Structures are given as structure tokens and as C-alpha cells.
Amino acid sequence: MIVPALALGSALLSAIATIFVRQGLRQSDPYTGAWINMMVGAIGLWICVLVTGGPGPISMRSLLLFAAAGLIGTAGGRVARFFAIEKVGASVASAVGNLTPLIATILAIALLGERVTLPVVLGTIVIVIGTVLLSVSGHDLGFRPWMILLPLLSATCFGIVQIIRKVGLSGMGPMLGSAINFTTAAIAFSAFIAATRHRGLASCRGRSLVCFIAAGVAENAGVFLLILGLSLGAVSVVTPLTAASPLFVLLFTPFFLKGVEVLTTRVVIGTVLIVLGVYLITAFGAG
């Protein structure tokens, strides 16, 4: 029972992080939120590395791969995620952002030679239907249909990173790899913030600052539970349960985002379809 509990705990923490991000964005901006999120992640992961016995063996190849993963996924993916939450809302962003396993599966089939199975095909069809429903909900929720590309971009970045990490883990442990991942992203994004003279950091305080820090803690604690779950149980058990995060967001929205976001029937059905499609791919899609 411990492995399913860890997976569901990861999904719950991811949903909590999404709610905190949405609240923080009410008085701040995505760049500021993403930077705080990365810094919290980098600091937290290096603490975990030191507590668990230090870095251990380091492969230069794996170091470069995790650094690349930091630029693509943690920097690119998280910035796109923050913009997605701001533009299309927490519920829609969480649902479409949940397509990461589909992206990773498509890339694994194309690049690693993995087989196409019936659950992958069925799951993809269900996901497409759910995504279309969310896209056409834009008129009711106040966003344009093309903005659905923002969470899709985030999911694509994270999907690419899953393949890079899979290769990188051959020469480095997951905790150290994640720490290098976040550190690279934090340094690169800090340079971007400095070069563009973004002033959002200086004005971020009070409620927004607390929400962004809380989101960073919750999100990275969720990642820790995910890694712990994968180390104790099968991927086929852990991954489908972590895909339940958008359902938690749906449950939390009426209570914690009341007056900020509106749930429609299309959003609820679209989210459930995407979660179902991801479940089919992750639970039964291995060929």
C-alpha cells in the first residue's frame, strides 16, 4: 500500500502547487514565479543530496544530459507552465500539462524503438478528444483557443526531458541528476532575468511571495515522493496514479479558487478524458 500512497501523495502535492501558483499569479507574473520555483527546487534538492550521503559518482556524459534537461524541461517547461496557468487557468493547464507521458511515449517509440500498442492508440484518441473539449472551452473561460498551446508546450518540454533523463540515469543517481537539472535551470534563468532587467522579483512580496515559495516546496516534495515511489515499486503502478493530479485540481478549484476561475462541464469532461487517456497509456501501454 505504501507505493500507491506515495504516488497519490505526489499527485496531491502537484495539485496543491498548481493552486498556489494560480494564487501567486494574481499579484505577480510568471517569470517571477518560475524563478522562485526553480530556486526553491535547487536548494531543496542539494539539501537532499547532502543528507543522503553526498554526490557519489559523476559521469560527464550524464552531467551534460541532466544540464540539458534543466534547460529544456525545468527552465522551458516550468516557464511555459506558469504562463499556461496564468492564461488558461489552473484546471485546464493541469489537464493539458498532464500529457507529458503521451509525449514521452511518442518520443520513445520514435527514438528508442519502443512498440506501438493498442492502449497507446486508444489512450491517444481519448486524450485528443479531451484536449479538443478543453480548447473549445476557451470562449466560456475567457481565453483564446490557441492558448491551449502553452500547457501543450510545457508538456512537450517535460516529455523530451523524460527521454534525456532515462539516458542520463545510466551514469548518475536520480537525486544528484535532479539537483544538477534544477541548478542549471536556475543559473540560466537567473541570467535571463538579469539580462532582460526584469523587475518583478523586486516587487514580489507578501501573499504572492508566500504562495510561490509554498508552490515550490509542494511541487518538489511531490517530485521526491515520485522518485521514492519509483524506487520502491513498478513504474506501471506509480505513473498512472500520479496522473490523477488534474482531478485533485478540479476538486480544489471551487474551494480555493472561488471567484478566480470557473469550472464548466466541458472542462470537467475534458480533464477526466485526458486523465483516462494518460492512465491507459501508462498502465497498459508498455509493449
Identify the CA nearest to 78 among candidates 41, 26, 106, 44.
41
CA angle 52, 176, 41 (to 5 degrees): 95
**pLDDT tens string 225-250:** 877 776 677 656 677 778 788 889 98
Its domain, for residue 78, covers 2-284
* Residue among 107, 220, 191 at smallest CA distance from 157: 107
Give the residue, 71 or 109, on which the prediction is more confident: 71
Q: Which of 34-43, 83-92, 114-123 has the lowest mean pLDDT?
A: 114-123
Residues in Cβ contact with 252 at an 8 Å cutoff, skipping those fewer than 6 apart? 15, 16, 19
What pLDDT is attached to residue 186? 92
Strand ranges in the chain using DSSP code E only, listed in sequence order: none
Q: How confident is the model at residue 3 (pLDDT cuts 50, 70, 90)?
A: confident
Instruction: Quote the number of domains for the chain.
Output: 1
pLDDT at 194 > cutoff 80:
yes
Q: Does the pLDDT value for residue 60 go beyond 80?
A: yes
142: left (phi over 0), alpha (psi -120 to 50) or beta: left
